[in-house]
Structure 1
Amino acid sequence: MRAAAWAALACLAALPAPAQTADVCGREAEPCTTDTGTYHVALPDTPEAGMPAVLFLHGAGGTGRGTLGMRGTINAITDRGYAVIAPDGLPWRPGRRGGIWSFREDLARLETRDEGAFFAEIVADAAMRYDIDPDRVLLSGFSAGGFMVTYLACRTPEAFPAYAPVSGGFWRPHPEDCAGPVKLLHTHGFTDSTVPLEGRPLRSGQWLQGDIFEGLGLFRAANDCARPDASGYRTTGQFMRRYWDCAADSALEFALFPGGHGVPAGWANMALDWFEDVTALPQETGGQ
């Protein structure tokens, strides 16, 4: 188990035994509260001890409860026996609901937080409440949540077993380099105009979204890939996928779909198949 999760678990030792069926902080309940934030949880119909989970980060202005409203995606995940942990970002604008993530302090709106520590804290909390296995958690997120996932994968690849950003990468200036090895699946829409593949300026050029392919180059370097071109290609439903065979204990893949800015149908099962493959988890049958 990762050190941060162990430390957080030690602080939570006095909590009651894990709830196997109670919806303590699920779709309709109040959020669970930790020292530094709040989160919601969706559980499989029949939760099992030591179940895996997807920690999914909402986009700008979103909420954890809103994440659980993505019924198709959430149900596809829980149908596979996974829990979904949906945290709340920090306040985005005064007087407005919804939050944002501290992926870069110079882009923060109102306040910042050590998001890596927050995520470790809520994974540990969810592990105590629901008997989730903290070593079997995929970190994913959409748009601004995808930005956060990408930056955390770059800074601390050991924090989670694998990372799966959707429609979100780096901002300019890109990091000089990333730590590695890392296991990362990036998914993006071909016609995304909110976070274009090439990036775009915001606020008259004050902020610049980065280039997705340049970001993949940073992860190739972190994974000690010998070549920039893909090692192979495959297609899963609407997803056109390319992958790189690089250093041991690394995995890097890019999945393109013919759509815009959103979490596409079929993503959950594709991402979980990939997660189970790269982390050597037993595969289960599911459908979306």
Structure 2
Amino acid sequence: MMQGLRKAAAAAALAAVCGSAAMAECGAEAGACSIEEGQYQIVLPDPAGAEGAVPVVMFLHGYGGSSSSVLRNRTLVAGLTQRGYAVIAPEGLRRDGSGPQSWGFGPFTGGRDEGAFFAAVLADAAEQFGTSRSQTVLAGFSAGAFMVHYLACRDPAAFAAYAPVSGAFWRPQPERCNGPVRLLQVHGWRDEVVPLEGRILGGGRFEQGDVFAALEVWREANACTSHAPDRAWSADGLMRRRWDCGPGADIELVLFDGGHTLPKSWAELMAEWFEDQPAVR
């Protein structure tokens, strides 16, 4: 009885956060959807304006976060659902079975095949809620962003585009990645948790990589002919660089004057970037 009340209260709280968007139900009740590989939560846009399959932004929480913490970000969820996107928030696994929830990437792989999990989530959501299997963006913050980079490197065709925030590779970073890839890298200029240049952790056992070094790997994967961006500009307090290296092979770097956080303008920024690409199906 108490467990049911708690679930109902959690669903009501998320519904309040999501505003006009619909907190989708899995089975007979609202809340986490369970598949063999794990769990996820999903918020759908107002169906009144929907035509065809609903495009998806799968957003990965940071270290110690959860799918619920993603959906509590009202600016993020409302910013995407109001533009017609479904927001899918998968649940990470506890590090080493009992630690904070995170993802299996780079030096922290082990256990679940995260790429297979994300693919299963997309398939389940498409079957249950009519979401798109092709108009998909994998995004994430911090540890979620690290995961985005590693999956894009291994399987760029898994999603139509990738949008990491405040995270790249760890050292030693991949020598090469598969491509082409469409990637939007957003990072705070004053980030001290995941600095642009990276940092050493765990008494020297681990090292966050350099974001600019990661972008060089991506330019090589996209067969870009120059390290120089095709366009460089500043607008609305953002410093932006863009490399257009062929069909489905574009990279954009956006730096904002802030720390380790998701900027409030991110949803609109990401959606405009994604929708501006001719490769969107």
TM-score > 0.5, shorter chain as reference: yes
- Classify 1:231/1:123 alpha carbon distance in 2 versus 1 (closer, same or farther; 3 Å): same
Instruction: Evaluate the alpha carbon distance shift between residue 238 and residue 265 of structure 1 in structure 2; reply closer, same or farther with a 3 A threshold.
Output: farther
How far is the alpha carbon of 1:53 from its aligned partner? 1.0
TM-score calculated relative to the size of structure 1: 0.85
For 1:7, the equivalent position in structure 2 comes to none
TM alignment of 1:1-288, pairs within 5 A: 23-25=24-26, 29-46=30-47, 48=50, 49-92=52-95, 95=98, 98-104=100-106, 106-108=107-109, 111-281=110-280
**C-alpha separation between the residues in 2 aligned to 1:201 and 1:103?**
17
Q: Offset at 1:234?
A: 2.9
Q: Structure 2-normalised TM-score?
A: 0.87
Distance 1:25 1:39 in 2: 10
Give the partner amino acid of 1:74.
Answer: V
Q: Does the CA-based 8 Å contact 1:223-1:246 persist in structure 2?
A: yes
- Higher RCO structure (Cα 8 Å, ≥6 apart): 1
Q: Which residue of 2 aligns with 1:8?
A: none
Q: What's the secondary structure of 1:55's corresponding residue?
A: strand
Structure 1 residues 179 and 281: CA distance shift in structure 2, 3 A: closer
Letter in 1 for 2:203: S
| SS of residue paired to 1:259 | coil
- Aligned equivalents of 1:32, 1:195: Cα separation in 2: 31
Whole-Å separation in 2 of the counterparts to 1:222 and 1:138? 19
Please give the alpha-carbon distance, in whole angstroms, between the structure 2 residues aligned to 1:83 and 1:155: 25
Q: Which amino acid aligns with 1:166?
A: V
Distance 1:142 1:21, change over 3 A: closer
Question: How many pairs align?
Answer: 258
Cα deviations across residues 245-270 of structure 1 (Å, max 9, x unaligned)?
21332111100000000110111111
Percent of matched pairs sharing the same residue: 47
- Superposition deviation, residue 42 in structure 1: 1.1
* RMSD over equivalenced CA pairs, Å: 2.1
Displacement of 1:233 in angstroms is: 1.5
Cα distance between partner residues in 1 of 2:104 and 2:97: 16
Aligned equivalents of 2:272, 2:242: Cα separation in 1 = 14
> Using the alignment, how far apart are the partners of 1:22 and 1:186 within structure 2?
28
Give the AA of the match of 2:211.
Answer: I
Runs of at least 4 residues of structure 1 off by over 4 A?
93-96, 279-282
Deviation string, structure 1 residues 103-123 (Cα, Å, up to 9, x no partner): 12x325xx5211111000000
* Structure 1 gap ranges (5+): 1-19, 283-288
Letter in 2 for 1:72: T
1:25–1:41 contact (8 Å) kept in structure 2: no
> SS at the partner of 2:203?
coil
- The answer for unaligned runs of 5 or more in structure 2 is 1-20
Q: CA deviation at 1:22?
A: 7.2
Report the structure, 1 or 2, having the larger helix content: 2
Q: Which amino acid aligns with 1:235?
A: S
Q: By how many angstroms is 1:68 displaced?
A: 0.3
